[in-house]
Amino acid sequence: MESLLALLVHALIFMLIGFTLQTLNLFQQNLYQEKNIEWHLFLNQMEKDMEDKYITFRGKSELHFIQKDRPDKYTYVTSGAQIQRKKNGTGYTPMLMQIKEVKYEDGKNGVHVQVDFKNGQIMRGYVPVEEKPKSE
């Protein structure tokens, strides 16, 4: 009788361990999905921002651009663990959170963006951007 009871207790413990591991795996997948959604929203907003603007400066972790028909200046800058969008050097809108590092690199008619997140995930994207004509 004691052996059966011990077997039952061990079986319950192993079932709980399996259930716990499965739950943790689902939790981790949800975290990655949330980060993917945030990433795609960031890229969509960035592409929308670039529609009617010229890029004026592209640094390793900073991006400056101006409105085509107005003197408004915009900046994507890394501050702490987030990417912030600033207009005319004042205020800011948080664009992407929990980042470790961001890189902007030249691409053909656009900018390649790579973001390393604090959770170890690395996301890459491309945003088309017009270069400011030399005559302006």
Q: What is the pLDDT of residues 17-46, one digit of tens each?
A: 888 877 777 666 655 556 678 888 889 888
Q: What is the pLDDT of residues 85-136, one digit of tens each?
A: 998 888 888 888 889 999 988 888 888 999 998 888 888 999 887 766 665 4
Q: What is the pLDDT of residues 48-66, one digit of tens each?
A: 888 888 888 888 888 888 8
Q: Rounded to an integer, what distance in angstroms lies between the CA atom of residue 123 and that of residue 83? A: 14
Q: Rounded to an integer, what distance in angstroms lies between the CA atom of residue 132 and that of residue 136? A: 7
Instruction: Report pTM.
Output: 0.66
